[in-house]
């Protein structure tokens, strides 16, 4: 049994938990692992991206995770959705993912909810510490984010379209600690002779308490103040607007149609982009590519883990994975 005092309470980890999470406890400490073990997570959307997020969160050792998804598993999901077996096509995605997800870590409670997110009242989101939403429309994302902010729930959103993806975080006022590593000069003498003193350096790690204030999702949806290489932001707007208008993401069967180009033209004209993002629109933005789900889903899970454990600085506030360069960039948007 391992114990540590936190906020006046004695924390206890069973021997089985201490053994399972030994590497993580050594990495971020018993206090952070305790916070993870107490966290209740809601994951909306069990596509390939959602499966990657779920895998990493479950392995980290949260208290519980609830899969909310009313969609059926389709042939397109099999490109990246590894939690659902191939013979489950036509079944609810959350239910089809339950068995493999639970096998990842029997100590985590994995639950399934097959209702639509639209059928959930705002009060529903109070039951969780973190809400992570994918495959949601702009209207849904704004509504869920407002409900989370009202009740002090940490809100994340993210998606993958082909080789492009993003994550967003609204953590309200978030407190955390960060390890600051510094080198200190010391002098040591050999055989007690000051004349033979040598200059050496030792590494000192100091834990510093910090705080960041985040903005809601709707605040970042219309900005012209972008840093260099921020063009993927416009691609995000195009794809979210497409989903809002058509009720689904661009399908592989629509590659030869002008539906996506028409949506892109609206953004290009509004922001006077000319041909600045033509190279991005030509990328593969149809269905989900497994390696990109692994990268962007891994980033999302990492940010959720950092947030819950209150260890290290979280991304503030938008992470974009560029389909042209295959590199990620963090943008801080909407701040006054």
Question: Within this chain, do residues 52 and 199 fall inside the same structural domain, yes or no?
Answer: no
Q: Do 136 and 182 have their domain in common?
A: no
What pLDDT score does 7 carry? 46
Residues in the chain: 336
Question: Comparing 9 with 153, which gets the higher pLDDT?
Answer: 153
Q: Based on the domain organization, do 180 and 163 belong to the same domain?
A: no
Provide the token pair at 153. 């729930």
Answer yes or no: are the C-beta atoms of 242 and 263 closer than 8 Å.
Answer: yes
* End position of a domain, from candidates 149, 184, 212: 212
DSSP code, position 271: T
- 160/306 same-domain check: yes
* pLDDT mean across residues, the chain: 89
Q: Does one domain contain both 151 and 204?
A: no
My answer on whether 145 and 166 are in the same domain is yes
225-234, 285-294, 300-309, 316-325: which has the minimum mean pLDDT?
225-234
Q: 308 and 162, same structural domain? A: yes
pTM of the model: 0.88
More confident residue, 228 or 93: 93
What residues make up the domain containing 191? Answer: 176-212
Name the domain count of the chain: 2
Residues 180, 135 share a domain: no
Is the sign of the CA dihedral 110, 112, 113, 117 positive or negative? positive
Q: What DSSP character marks residue 299?
A: H
Query: What pLDDT digit, counting tens, does each position of 218-243 carry?
Result: 999 988 788 888 999 999 999 999 99
Residue-wise pLDDT tens digits, 140-175: 999 999 999 999 999 999 999 999 999 999 999 999
For residues 107 and 204, membership in a common domain is answered with no
Within a domain: 1: no
Q: What is the CATH number of the domain that holds 79?
A: 3.40.50.720
Distance CA 235, CA 331 (A): 14
- Co-location of 47 and 137 in the same domain: yes
Least-confidence region, from 15-29, 96-110, 129-143, 228-242: 15-29
Residue 315 lies inside a defined structural domain of this protein? yes
User: d(Cα 297, Cα 133) in Å, to the nearest integer?
Assistant: 12
- pLDDT for 8 equals 44
- Does one domain contain both 141 and 119? yes
Q: How confident is the model at residue 255, as a pLDDT? A: 84
Tell me what pLDDT residue 18 has. 67
Name beta bridge partners: 324. none
Please determine, for residue 189, whether its predicted confidence score (pLDDT) is greater than 90. Answer: no
pLDDT at 6 over 70: no
């Amino acid at each position: 049994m391992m114990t540590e005092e936190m906020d006046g309470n004695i924390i206890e980890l069973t021997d089985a938990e201490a053994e399972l999470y030994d590497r993580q406890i050594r990495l971020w400490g018993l206090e952070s692992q305790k916070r993870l073990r107490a966290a209740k997570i809601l994951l909306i959307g069990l596509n390939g991206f959602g499966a990657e997020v779920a895998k990493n969160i479950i392995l980290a050792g949260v208290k519980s995770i609830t899969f909310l998804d009313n969609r059926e598993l389709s042939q397109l999901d099999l490109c990246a959705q590894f939690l659902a077996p191939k013979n489950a096509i036509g079944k609810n995605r959350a239910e089809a993912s339950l068995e493999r997800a639970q096998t990842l870590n029997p100590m985590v409670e994995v639950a399934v909810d097959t209702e639509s997110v639209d059928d959930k009242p705002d009060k529903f989101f109070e039951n969780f510490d973190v809400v992570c939403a994918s495959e949601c429309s702009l209207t849904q994302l704004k509504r869920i984010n407002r409900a989370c902010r009202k009740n002090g729930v940490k809100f994340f959103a993210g998606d993958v379209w082909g080789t492009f993806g993003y994550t967003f975080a609204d953590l309200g006022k978030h407190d955390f600690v960060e390890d600051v590593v510094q080198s200190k000069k010391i002098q040591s003498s050999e055989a007690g002779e000051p004349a033979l003193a040598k200059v050496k350096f030792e590494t000192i790690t100091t834990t510093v308490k910090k705080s960041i204030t985040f903005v809601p999702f709707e605040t970042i949806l219309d900005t012209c103040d972008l840093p260099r290489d921020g063009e993927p932001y416009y691609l995000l707007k195009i794809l979210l607007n497409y989903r809002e208008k058509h009720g689904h993401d661009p399908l592989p069967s629509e590659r030869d149609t002008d539906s996506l180009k028409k949506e892109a033209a609206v953004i290009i004209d509004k922001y006077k982009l000319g041909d600045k993002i033509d190279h991005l629109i030509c990328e593969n933005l149809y269905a989900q590519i497994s390696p990109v789900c692994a990268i962007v889903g891994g980033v999302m899970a990492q940010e959720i883990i950092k947030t819950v454990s209150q260890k290290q600085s979280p991304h503030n506030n938008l992470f974009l994975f560029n389909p042209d360069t295959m590199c990620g960039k963090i943008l801080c948007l909407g701040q006054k």
